[in-house]
Amino acid sequence: MEEMNSIILEIRAGAGGEEAALFASELFRMYQRYSQRKNWQAVIIDSNRTSIGGIKEITLEITGPGVEILKNEAGVHRVQRIPKTEKSGRVHTSTASVAVLAKPKNINIQINPQDLEVEFFRSSGPGGQNVNKVETGTRLIHKPSGLVVSCQSERSQFKNREKALELLKARLYDLNWTAAQGKISEERRQQIGSADRSEKIKTYNFPQDRLTDHRYKKNFHNLEEIMDGDLDPVFEIYHRISA
């Protein structure tokens, strides 16, 4: 796959109910804070939030030099901690999944308008009263592939439709690239997996203040700093392996 300076990052709550949604929200904040540290631009394309501040799923477009390092974050992330709502002090295990799609500068994907079903909806995110009262959010259904994408970050239907179309092309590009590599299933589905607790690339153990990367058998401490976006010490292993 060609060098990236823009990626689509998706975070989705997995096993664990509301606690999983809260963990997904914290992962979003972690990547957002890291993007700020690296002077990358992170734009929310679409999000589905819970009533107490969790995130069921969120899609970001992140742009900047070196952003391709985030492709190593694709997979299931597991958290072990005592939820604030837990009265007996029992440690719970929850998961969230991360998928990373390449967004090359020039995606030569042709989409037949007849293959698209377009829906509009009221946006639920920030953007003022106009966004919330008018059906500016746009959902595209690509009938041949079954892919569904949506965007609600812009104030107009036209801009949301254009951004949703870009996202759809990125996902189709990912599907085509994966097929060309001879893999059994698309890369995105492999990354997300079933979000089961047993499928994991990382475990965030808060009682022991430890992040474990299961792929490289490495442990990191200072979880508070890591969750605040201090990811360079963790990502250093990726630089060494790719060097």
Give residue-wise pLDDT tens across range 59-104. 999 999 999 999 999 999 999 999 877 778 889 999 999 999 876 5
Return the CATH class of domain 113-180. Answer: alpha beta
Mean pLDDT of the chain: 83
**Could you tell me which CATH number the domain at 6-106+185-242 has?**
3.30.70.1660
Cβ–Cβ under 8 Å, residues 155 and 178: no
Task: Give the predicted TM-score (pTM) of the model.
Answer: 0.74
| Single-letter amino acid code for the residue at 228 | D
Lowest pLDDT segment from 44-53, 161-170, 177-186? 177-186
**So what's the pLDDT on residue 34?**
97
| Single-letter amino acid code for the residue at 26 | E
Strands 55-63, 41-49: pairing is antiparallel
Residue spans in the chain of domains classed CATH 3.30.160.20: 113-180
Structure tokens at 165: 């179309």
Q: How far is CA 78 from CA 1, 11, 43, 101, 169, in A?
A: 28, 13, 25, 21, 30
Per-residue pLDDT band for 190 (boundaries 50, 70, 90) equals low
Please report, to the nearest 10 degrees, the dihedral formed by the alpha carbons of residues 216, 4, 188, 241 taken in order: -10
Residue matched to tokens 């500016």: 136
d(CA 76, CA 11): 10
∠ CA(204), CA(209), CA(212), 5° rounding? 40
Nearest residue to 59 (alpha-carbon basis) of 95, 22, 20, 31:
31
Residue spans in the chain of domains classed CATH 3.30.70.1660: 6-106+185-242
d(CA 3, CA 212): 28
pLDDT above 90 for 182 = no
Per-residue pLDDT band for 184 (boundaries 50, 70, 90) equals very low
Q: What are the pLDDT digits (tens) for 92-145? A: 999 999 999 876 566 677 888 899 988 888 766 544 444 445 678 888 999 988
Question: How far is CA 157 from its chain centroid?
Answer: 23
